[in-house]
Amino acid sequence: MSTITQGYLDDPVFSLVSRVAEQEGVRAFVIGGYVRDCFLGTPSKDIDIVVEGSGIALAEAVAEHIRQVEKHSCHVSVFKNFGTAMLRYHGTEVEFVGARKESYHRDSRKPIVEDGTLEEDQLRRDFTINAMAFSLQREDFGALVDPFGGIRDLAAGIIRTPLDPEVTYSDDPLRMLRAIRFATRLTTPSRTFTIVPESLEAMRKMKDRMSILSKERIVEELNKILLTPHPSMGFRLLDETGLLEYILPDLVRLKGVETVEGRGHKDNFSHTLQVVDHVAEDELRQIDAGTLHNYAPVEGSDGFVEVQRTEPYVWLRWAALLHDIGKPASKRYDPVQGWTFHGHNVLGARMVPKIFQSLKMPLNEKMKYVQKLVELHHRPVSLVDDEVTDSAVRRLLFDAGNEIDDLMLLCNADITSKNPVKVARLKRNFELVREKLAEVEAKDAIRNMKNPITGDYVMKVYGIPPCDKIGVLKEYVKNAILDGRIGNNFEEADRLMRAYAPTLGLQEVASE
Ligand code: CTP
């Protein structure tokens, strides 16, 4: 009897499934991500069980055992179309599926499924590292079943398909993105994961098969790549295989360096990927230090609660990815200044909704957050070209609102010049803005500032119907607060409004 469990199968759910499978006369195995993650030293809470027989029937039998013998309630969620069933046991999610040989229609991800043996099932899985299984049979409980060398590939850092990659990717083109996601996620400073050349070649050849995938599934994978500690690796692979051209053509357009009169500009694609990596590093560092916050609106009030961020925020990564997306459209060559990208932030912000729409991503406040960061990403650092005045910092705070911390993080990550003197100067100035922000924030409540003067109030004081003068008056008061000429309070705002209104031809109506 061989057993190499090393504690991987200590969770009581495994012996339970083992016993019930034996009673039911079927063979069951733990398979996929759980096995892979055991060997990587990061066991997951999601367990996939493959059964030579019906996965749904075994799940029902296990649940019945839990109810009858352990006297616990146990609900089984059955997904008939996929032939799978899921239950929870002491907080662990366990999914059951029957072993199958699969083949796919050319135009759909939906498989034609036939019952199969464990090995036939393993052969149809995506990668050798995801096709390993642990036996749950009493006679060899915990033995590793690894017919395609998953353990060898895991040790060597290799992503390889069990079948010819063209067959595996044709079965499910999403696997091309999964290969890139796993290579990116599993790579650490001490171990690089590479996709074997024939697999990369198959991706280049089959990139058009992406068209059968829903945008939602594509974005789910993109988000997982973005949330890795070094997303640039994934985006380089997406680019090299031609998949990026299909998914995000605007990003590919950032590639390349043009030279006129011996003057070139930086490659904006490489720069963007560097910024995404910087954001990821800094965000993780700040999460560890407990210094990063989100602001959630308090229901039924104008206020916000500060919530410490404990997970990377995918929308900040999107903002980093798209921060320079407006550069190609704004690029100009000026014989005096050289290359300029004036207004690329505004152009980029305008492109964000179109990009989100093309990927069927939400067009809600998440999109607005990305848009805001893209538009403002240059502001903190450009402030420092002039003197960092209170007024400029107040305006920055007002425009950024709750997004100020993320904006500062993105802006800092954006300093990537090869010239160490320039980097040192920008970083020093950036720190100045940061200090000033803290000062202004402590002094005036500018973040989420509401104009003390409302339109209704103006209409009442001057007895006027809605008209453009109301906007002019409010803007005048708001600017006075942001410039620091008056405090952010009703009394001073009211006094200023009453002093300025006559110049607009407004007369106060007698109060009753
Ligand atoms: N699988 C596959 N082809 C896919 C998706 C999944 O062959 N397109 C198989 C793999 O064996 C995979 C298992 O189903 O290991 C479970 O899939 P999933 O839960 O998506 O991935 P995990 O490998 O568990 O990894 P993670 O949960 O970390 O994404």
Using DSSP's 3-state secondary structure scheme, residue 263 falls into strand
Q: Is the CB of 174 under 6 A from ligand 1?
A: yes
Question: pLDDT tens-digit profile of 469-486?
Answer: 999 999 999 999 888 899
What span, in angstroms and rounded, lies between the C-alpha atoms of 152 and 149? Answer: 5
Cβ of 124: how many Cβ atoms within 10 Å? Answer: 22
Report how far ligand 1's centroid is from the alpha carbon of 34 (Å). Answer: 9
Residue pair 187/154 in contact (Cβ under 8 Å)? The answer is no
Give the pLDDT band of residue 320 (cuts 50, 70, 90).
Answer: very high
What span, in angstroms and rounded, lies between the C-alpha atoms of 123 and 161? Answer: 9
Residue pair 278/271 in contact (Cβ under 8 Å)? The answer is no
pLDDT at site 225? 98
Q: Which of 69-83, 292-306, 473-487 has the lowest mean pLDDT?
A: 292-306
Q: Is the CB of 326 under 6 A from ligand 1?
A: no
pLDDT > 70? residue 160 = yes
Indicate which residue's Cα is closest to atom 28 of ligand 1. 33
Q: Is the CB of 53 under 6 A from ligand 1?
A: no
Using DSSP's 3-state secondary structure scheme, residue 191 falls into strand
Report how far ligand 1's centroid is from the alpha carbon of 267 (Å). Answer: 35
* Pairing of the two strands 92-98 and 46-52: parallel
Please, what is the angle between helix 490-500 and helix 455-462, to 10°? 50
Give the pLDDT band of residue 314 (cuts 50, 70, 90).
Answer: very high
Q: What is the mean pLDDT of the chain?
A: 91
Atom of ligand 1 nearest to the CA of 178: 8
Give the pLDDT band of residue 104 (cuts 50, 70, 90).
Answer: low
Atom of ligand 1 nearest to the CA of 48: 16
User: Per the structure block, which two tokens stand in for 313?
Assistant: 């925020």
Q: For domain 12-156, give the CATH number.
A: 3.30.460.10
Backbone angles phi, psi at 299, to 5 degrees: -60, 135
Indicate which residue's Cα is closest to atom 21 of ligand 1. 33
Percent of the chain's residues with pLDDT above 90 = 68
What span, in angstroms and rounded, lies between the C-alpha atoms of 403 and 372? Answer: 8
Report how far ligand 1's centroid is from the alpha carbon of 97 (Å). Answer: 13
Give the pLDDT band of residue 5 (cuts 50, 70, 90).
Answer: low
* Pairing of the two strands 27-31 and 46-52: antiparallel
pLDDT at site 2? 46
Atom of ligand 1 nearest to the CA of 185: 28
Backbone angles phi, psi at 86, to 5 degrees: -130, 140
pLDDT > 90? residue 114 = no
Atom of ligand 1 nearest to the CA of 172: 8
Report how far ligand 1's centroid is from the alpha carbon of 360 (Å). Answer: 23
Q: Is the CB of 150 under 6 A from ligand 1?
A: no
The DSSP result for 70-133, as a single string, is S------EEEGGGTEEEEEETTEEEEEEE-EEEEE-TT-SPEEEEE--HHHHHHTSS-GGGS-E
Distant-in-sequence, close-in-space partners of 385: CB < 8 Å, separation ≥ 6: none
Q: Is the CB of 48 under 6 A from ligand 1?
A: yes
What span, in angstroms and rounded, lies between the C-alpha atoms of 341 and 328? Answer: 8
Backbone angles phi, psi at 445, to 5 degrees: -90, 80
By most ligand atoms within 8 Å of CB, the mutation choice from 38, 126, 180 for ligand 1 is 126
Report how far ligand 1's centroid is from the alpha carbon of 25 (Å). Answer: 27
pLDDT at site 300? 76
In the chain, CATH 1.10.110.30 sits at 160-247
Residues β-bridged to residue 306:
295
Q: List Cα–Cα distances, 425 to 355, 381, 428, 445, in angstroms.
A: 34, 11, 5, 30
pLDDT at site 110? 63
In the chain, CATH 3.30.460.10 sits at 12-156
pLDDT at site 113? 65
Q: Which of 20-34, 231-245, 443-457, 470-484 has the lowest mean pLDDT?
A: 443-457
State which amino acid sits at residue 139.
E
Q: Is the CB of 185 under 6 A from ligand 1?
A: no
Q: Is the CB of 125 under 6 A from ligand 1?
A: yes
* Pairing of the two strands 304-308 and 293-297: antiparallel
Percent of the chain's residues with pLDDT above 70 = 95
What span, in angstroms and rounded, lies between the C-alpha atoms of 453 and 176? Answer: 56
Indicate which residue's Cα is closest to atom 20 of ligand 1. 33
User: Per the structure block, which two tokens stand in for 135?
Assistant: 């036996």
* Pairing of the two strands 338-340 and 332-334: antiparallel
Backbone angles phi, psi at 43, to 5 degrees: -55, 140
Report how far ligand 1's centroid is from the alpha carbon of 484 (Å). Answer: 57
Q: Is the CB of 32 under 6 A from ligand 1?
A: yes
pLDDT at site 23? 97
Question: pLDDT tens-digit profile of 122-155?
Answer: 999 999 999 999 999 999 999 999 999 999 999 9
Residue pair 429/393 in contact (Cβ under 8 Å)? The answer is no
Atom of ligand 1 nearest to the CA of 131: 11
By most ligand atoms within 8 Å of CB, the mutation choice from 125, 129, 177 for ligand 1 is 125
Cβ of 204: how many Cβ atoms within 10 Å? Answer: 12
Q: Is the CB of 100 under 6 A from ligand 1?
A: no
pTM of the model: 0.90
First to last CA, the chain: 97
pLDDT > 80? residue 227 = yes
Give the pLDDT band of residue 380 (cuts 50, 70, 90).
Answer: confident
Does domain 160-247 sit in CATH 3.90.1300.10? no
426 vs 78 pLDDT, higher one: 78
Burial class (CB in 10 A: 0-12, 13-18, 19+), 216: exposed
Question: pLDDT tens-digit profile of 241-280?
Answer: 999 999 999 999 999 888 888 888 889 999 999 999 999 9
By most ligand atoms within 8 Å of CB, the mutation choice from 38, 48, 223 for ligand 1 is 48
Give the pLDDT band of residue 236 (cuts 50, 70, 90).
Answer: very high
